[in-house]
Structures are given as structure tokens and as C-alpha cells.
Amino acid sequence: MSYGVSAALQKAVYQRLTADAALAALVGTDIFDAPPSGTVPATYVSLGPEVARDASDKTGAGALHDFTVTVITDAAGFQLAKDVAAAVGDALQQPMPALERGTLIWLGFRRAKAQREGAEQLRRIDLTFRARVEDA
């Protein structure tokens, strides 16, 4: 197994999300590589947890990465959260930037979980994607 492609994959996902016009129309520049601190935007997207497992074969090292992209909003109801989540999914179905290390073989949607969170009743949607990478 190789975990060496993880940082490159995260960087490419972040670049793809921040370059997407439809997503920017909904959240502006409020797309974060880590949860924001200080004054938190009303609606934002954040890259979240990742789980990687070996997918090496006789041709070389590789891994499957399940990673989460989270949508948070204080808007009433789930409509805005779902619109943003859909834009995230659409963005990640577009061609990805080349990885700085390794090769992205494929990336696909796995699941989503929508829930209310905290005393403020924030809306949260965790989108899980799976990527297959090879380490060159």
C-alpha cells in the first residue's frame, strides 16, 4: 500500500472545488481545506476525514481513499445544503487536475448523510467519495 498519494489527492480535490463556478455561486470562496475558525461563514464547504486502504496489485502500489466533503449551513431547511451538496458532487464528476504524485484512476460518489447539528440547528451534509489512486 502507498499512502503517499493522499496529499496530492486532497490538493486536487480542493483545487477542483475552488475552481467550480456553480459551487462558487452558492458559497463564494467559503471552501476550506480544514474547518474554519474565528467568524464562521453562514454556508461553507470543508474537506473532512479520509480512510485509505491498500489496493496494490502486481503492477504497483495503489490505494482506495474514501474521503468526506462536508456542507454546513445555518439556513432554515435543507434546500440550500442540498443545492450545495449537489454542486460538490457535480464538480467532482468533472475532470480533475493532475495529481502532483501518483495517478487518479477513478473517483466516484459513495453516500451522503444529511442531519441537523448543534444547538443552533445547523444543517450538515457529509458526502463520501471514493478514489482509486496508483503511486508512480
Question: What CATH number is given to the structural domain containing 122?
Answer: 3.30.2000
Query: Which pLDDT score, from 0 to 100, does residue 64 have?
Result: 97
Residue spans of the chain under pLDDT 50: none
The pTM of this model reads: 0.94
- Say if 86 falls within a structural domain: yes
Mean pLDDT of the chain, nearest integer: 95
- Say if 136 falls within a structural domain: no
By C-alpha distance, which of 63, 65, 67, 64 is closest to 1?
63
- Say if 1 falls within a structural domain: no
Query: Which pLDDT score, from 0 to 100, does residue 1 have?
Result: 64
Query: Which pLDDT score, from 0 to 100, does residue 59 have?
Result: 85
In terms of residue numbers, what domain contains 118? 6-126
- Say if 73 falls within a structural domain: yes
Query: Which pLDDT score, from 0 to 100, does residue 68 have?
Result: 98
Query: Which pLDDT score, from 0 to 100, does residue 60 have?
Result: 87
Domain count, the chain: 1
Task: HSE, CB side, 13 Å, CA atoms: give it for residue 34.
Answer: 2
C-alpha 103: how far from chain center: 18
